[in-house]
Structure 1
Amino acid sequence: MRLIRLLLPLLAAATLGQAASAKAPLVFAAASLQESLNAVADAWAAQHHERPTISFAASSALAKQIDAGAPADIFISADEPWMDDVQKNGLVAPGTRVSFLANTLVLVAPAGSGGTIAIKPGFPLAKVLGDGKLAMADPDSVPAGKYGKAALTALGIWPQVQAKVVRGDSVRAALAFVERGEAPYGIVYATDAFASKKVRIVGVFPSKSHAPITYPIARLSAASSPDAEGFRRFVISKDGRAIFRKYGFLAHVPNAN
């Protein structure tokens, strides 16, 4: 009996610990948010909440997982179309979708390289690449790649460079190609370039060459964490947005509550 009495507090503590862990929201988030959203999650945890579990990947992959029934509580996409996809399937909790961040599309090169490139209609990217590759997130599905393809098409040079593209399954995979020296140039977000000491920005794509780069967040209709809505609101709060700004993100006026 004495052994049982000694074990009961331990069992109770373990049970409470499991219950607390179960309350932590599961967040599916675009790969480009890694450093910034982790910092936001740390700030949330510092307020005596359970730290969210965050799964980072391409928005396209995450949306497909949600559509297939993945048990996420919150989705943050790097573009509107993939959030549209989830929402049209009835998987977004009404009134919780907010577009709250913006970004810039840039051309990067290894940190030790020299020179800059003026990005304008007809600029000689194919010539500059030579026999090298252009690293991009998959232009057929991943937001950063789709923005990149749209920009190169609008500038009239996609036909000249498309055969030189090496595709990554996320924007961070495209960044890694340039970091490792496997591609002399890559198209990523400005925030990805800021997060890496191994690349530098050599050109900025005109904002009118592609659709606005916005990040929508939403609580999912199947959310089970009681903290999901609280964390969603913290992410889009003044304090949350201030953290994102430290990582180079631009503000986007919220379109919902």
Structure 2
Amino acid sequence: MRRDLVISPFGGDARAIVDLAVRAEDDGYDGVWVFDHITSLASLTAPGVGASRDPFALLGAIAARTSRVRLGTLVANLHNRHPAQLALAMDTLGDLAPGRVVCGLGSGSAPSSPFAREDAALRRAPAPAPERRERLGEYVTSLRAIWNGSDAVGRYATDGLAGVVAGQAPPIVLGGGSDAMVELAGAVADGINLNTAVGPRQAAQVARARSLGDARVRAGELPGGFEVSLFVAQPVGAGADLGVGEVEVPDGVDRLVFLTRP
């Protein structure tokens, strides 16, 4: 079972975030993720206090000071960048941390989510879930097209776009908690990070994601495999030991991602 940290960016202390990521590698964690928010209004604990931090500036600094941990966004908000911009950022990060990058991607906040405070401040109206998933599917297809030397598609369509990426495409992991997101990830992505609560529904989603992903692996569509991970909302300890306690884990999970703050 792999163990990762996802580090909250709110509060504005970029150096502390980078230092924590280095410590996580030293303590044996397998990966480090960061959120993708423009403003600390998205913070669940202290909305509007301090600032947020740019995920790719953080990941670049972390890449320069680590050598082993996997690095990624949990999750990049599709509303914040055109697929070409995200591909550029991920490809650049891949130069700094070869073989260690994963593209965590999400459909944006629901209208009822506390994260919608950020959308409201930016005058963005969160779309209903089916529309956001449709956008996400087009976004993933566009990312893969850009890495294959083609144009983005659908609402993200480009004309003769070239020279964006030079390296190999990273795995794409979708984040979410709905059954429909499990189906989408099983159809188009390389993995899913589930944020549903522990219980029968989570276990059923893990089993379904595992089944869909493994079928594509057997069909030769995913030579790198399909990963199922869980977002664990309980923060790890703030003391000398980054211990994670005990977590109930359904069969079929490859990775746990623990929330923490610097």
- How does the TM-score come out when normalised to structure 2? 0.26
The structure with the largest alpha-carbon Rg is 1
Question: Relative contact order, CA 8 A, sep 6+: which one is greater?
Answer: 1
- How does the TM-score come out when normalised to structure 1? 0.26
* Larger helix percent: 1
